[in-house]
Amino acid sequence: MIDTPQIQDLDLTQKNVFMRVDFNVPLRDGVVTSDARIRAALPTIKAIMGDNTKITLASHCGRPRGQRNRKFSMEPIAQRLAELVDAEVLFAEDCIGDSVDGLVREQKSNQIVLLENLRFYAGEEKNDAEFSRKLARSYDVYINDAFGASHRSHASIDGITNFIPEHAAGLLLHKEVEVMTSLRDSAEAPFIALIGGAKVSDKLGVLDALLTRVNVLCIGGAMAYTFLSAQGGSVGASRVESNKIWTARQIIERAEAHDVQLLLPCDHIAMDEFSEDASTQILTSPSLGAESIGVDIGPKTLAAWSEHIREAGTIFWNGPMGVFEWDSCAKGTIGVAQAVAQSKAFSVVGGGDSVAALEKADVIDAITHVSTGGGASLELLEKGSLPGLLALSKKKRG
């Protein structure tokens, strides 16, 4: 377990607390369409309320790229939070400045302040020291509960800890780190990892790290076609990262050296035109015709992988098996979700599409741990730490 201070280590009585949360939730027409990440932060919020402790919550939402953009305002999130907590939620129309400082000064302990989108300022993603100082100036304690953002060296994750004297990990961050660390260090065999998504380049680090830990590694999604191409297979018009073929060969060779079963699709759902309205067909062999585009794993692949899932002691799944956004190409991803849910193994699922598949299949409650951070979980598995964890051990800058 990575050693970080926890909230129970601190005396929060009559303190002003800056709590970084991950409320980067989907919005449609100014309404929160999934509040899972808001709910995930509630245990920490409830744990630190009381004893005249005053809490300010801060998060990013979307990619406003350093510009104020009403589309990415936190105001709808404040409204949803108010429905979920037994406290009044005060929405701050900025995240720094005199108006925020004044709101925090007048705040009562039964009120929660939610700041406007941190990424309305370029200084957030640049980890700018002056922006960090302005964020910090009204607070005595910093708590990071934003696992999904803790792989970023941003001002509210890293720089702010130079200007607030006390730091701690929230309950969610601690739990996420505990689970991912157990996958790295003490997973029960057989350990199967299912990795999907579009790009090999996005998953290289975690693939490399998993090769020394797993017994079975299943690679699906568009990235599988780079691996099939590396094996000399015919992949038709499927997406291939030609500059990663050599790397894919190296991963295949390393899997063999570590006695890891590296499984690629043995059949495919394919289409001749990459369009949601295009008809699909099942190709029953690993090879694809010249015009065919692989868009999902086929039924034979799903059946074979499901057998490994049934026999597993530990399962880690990140990334869809196909073009999950299209119903005609979602059967493989949904099938994997159902198989993981039915398994008796210790199961961990992360990544937006994978979690969406669990929700669509109505099996999310059957998973041991559903991670709030796809990218953060991959980086923690790969590197063993995150910028957000390292920042918690910093001392206040003199």
Is there a contact between 306 and 252 (Cβ–Cβ < 8 Å)? no
**27 forms bridges with which residues in the sheet?**
32
Task: Compute and round to an integer the Cα radius of gyration of the chain.
Answer: 23
| SS3 label, residue 120 | helix
Sheet holding 261-263, edge to edge: 261-263, 216-219, 191-195, 314-318, 346-350, 369-370
Q: State which amino acid sits at residue 49.
A: M
Structure tokens at 63: 């990619």
Torsion (CA) 182, 322, 341, 187 in degrees, nearest 10: -20
199 given a catalytic annotation: yes
37 given a catalytic annotation: yes
Query: How far is residue 205's CA from residue 200's CA, in Å, rounded to a whole number?
Result: 10
Q: Active site residue: 196, 322, 373, 375, which one?
A: 375
232 given a catalytic annotation: no
The CA–CA distances, whole Å, from 213 to 55, 208, 312, 314, 394 equal 40, 10, 13, 11, 31
Q: At what angle do helices 36-48 and 75-84 cross, to 10 degrees?
A: 60
DSSP classification of residue 396: P
Query: How far is residue 37's CA from residue 55's CA, in Å, rounded to a whole number?
Result: 18
Q: Active site residue: 80, 126, 199, 249, which one?
A: 199
What is the DSSP pairing of strand 281-283 with strand 346-350? unpaired
Burial of 277 from C-beta contacts in 10 A (0-12 / 13-18 / 19+): exposed
Q: Active site residue: 62, 66, 352, 384, which one?
A: 352
What is the DSSP pairing of strand 268-271 with strand 293-297? antiparallel
Give me the phi and psi of 371, to 5 degrees please. Answer: -75, 145
Q: Which H helix or E strand runs over 19?
A: strand 16-20
Is there a contact between 198 and 321 (Cβ–Cβ < 8 Å)? no
Query: How far is residue 308's CA from residue 218's CA, in Å, rounded to a whole number?
Result: 10
Q: Going by C-beta distance under 8 Å and a sequence separation of 6 or more, which residues neighbour residue 397?
A: 162, 163
Q: Active site residue: 20, 37, 134, 152, which one?
A: 37
Write out the catalytic residue numbers: 37, 199, 352, 375
